[in-house]
Amino acid sequence: FGSLKEAFKEDFLIGTALGAEHILEKDSKANELIKKQFNAITPENHMKSMNIHPEWNRYDFFLGDKFVEYGQKNNMYVVGHTLVWHSQLPRFVGKIKSADSLKLFMTDHINTVAGRYAGKINSWDVVNEAIEDDGTFRKSIFYKLLGEDFIKMSFDLAAKADPKAELYYNDYNNEQPVKRKATIEMIKKLKASGTKIDGVGIQGHWSINSLKIQDIEDAIVEYSALGLKVAFTELDLTVLPNPWDLKGADVNQNFENSPKMNPYPKELPDSVQTTLAQKYEELFKVFLKHKDKIDRITFWGVEDGHSWLNGWPVRGRTNYPLLFDRNFEPKKAYQAVMNLKNTK
């Protein structure tokens, strides 16, 4: 079979998230696939502050350094993920009580991490997930102690620490109208205050059961109208039911053995493969239509076995959200996407 990055090379970058096993090249089949298919990489977990900055005075750059080397060695576009996020924070940050201490942490963190990789990272997800679905600011420790200024502060620090990197604001559900509107307002304010911001990341954690293509297209057009690049930064399509939609006994069962919660423990039936392929095709049609506005499509994982969606929002399920199966073989969805470029 062919190569995604080759097929779409005139259109946008095709990326994937890497785990430690990929960066350390522990799995030759996975690494072969990564190098053939993708020209952009994002660290799935190891540049998050909890991992890279475990204590006030201690950083751990082991995997971060290897990740950047991997990208450079293989001529890939390297994404830094993520400088300021309410989740996966080191324990000591949870104990911070004053605005000044929090600023001290942010300043040290951004200067040290973005500074270390300055000139080697193509783009940083500077701030991740600052806005709630209802359009209000998330009441994170950053917002509680610093107000919405923490966003400007983060971007300004990142711009200084790594003047060459493109700076992104990254979020989920930010294609949806209410959250999109709030995000646009936030970005307009940032720009008006002279802050450098280059792009918006739409994560793209969607479901084959509720994909809203029109919202996605509107979001591409509206974010791009702000003069920003648009990237799809964490794309995957769950094929499993949302546990919140199920009731009673199904929810309380052992998930692995629940036919409703984990309907495809062994393999994905053909009919669902086809639906997944159709949904990816619809998505990529829109991406291609707006390729002049889109910089990158990054999948959140290499193959189905390596997806976080096997463990979220409940553990012990078998999911199939990506283009490659657990044997590193292309799925129907891969073919559907490649067909759009008349290639296999």
In the annotation, is 234 catalytic?
yes
Measured in residues, the chain has a length of 344
Comparing every residue's Cβ against ligand G3I, the nearest one is 308
The size of the interface with ligand G3I (CB under 6 A), counted in residues, is: 9
CB 33 within 8 A of CB 328: yes
* Binding-residue pattern over the window 131 to 170 for ligand G3I, x denoting contact by CB under 6 A: ----------------------------------------
Supply the DSSP string of 274-328, one letter for each residue: HHHHHHHHHHHHHHHHTTTTEEEEEESSSSGGG-GGGSSSSSS-----SSB-TTS
Rule CB under 6 A: say whether 308 interacts with ligand G3I. Answer: yes
Rule CB under 6 A: say whether 175 interacts with ligand G3I. Answer: no
Measured over the CA atoms of residue 176, residue 47, residue 11 and residue 32, the dihedral's sign is negative
Written as six digits, the tokens of 113 are 């991490």
Vertex 162: Cα angle to 63 and 157 (nearest 5): 105
- Give whichever of 201 and 330 is closer to ligand G3I, judged by the CB atom: 201
Which one of 234, 295, 304, 325 is in contact with ligand G3I (CB under 6 A)?
Answer: 234
- Give whichever of 317 and 332 is closer to ligand G3I, judged by the CB atom: 317
Q: How near is the Cβ of 15 to ligand G3I at its closest, in Å?
A: 13
Which one of 55, 56, 88, 149 is in contact with ligand G3I (CB under 6 A)?
Answer: 88
CB 264 within 8 A of CB 255: no
**Span near ligand G3I by CB under 6 A; candidates 27-35, 44-52, 130-138, 279-287:** 44-52
Vertex 42: Cα angle to 37 and 43 (nearest 5): 120
Identify the helix (H) or strand (E) that includes residue 28. Answer: helix 28-37
* Binding-residue pattern over the window 48 to 77 for ligand G3I, x denoting contact by CB under 6 A: x-----------------------------
Quote the CA–CA distance of 132 and 182 in Å, as a whole number.
Answer: 9
Rule CB under 6 A: say whether 203 interacts with ligand G3I. Answer: yes
From 129, 222, 234, 303, the catalytic residue = 234
Question: Quick one: which of 121, 114, 54 has its CA closest to 83?
Answer: 114
Active site residues: 234
Give the residues lining the site for ligand G3I (CB under 6 A): 44-45, 48, 87-88, 128, 203, 234, 308
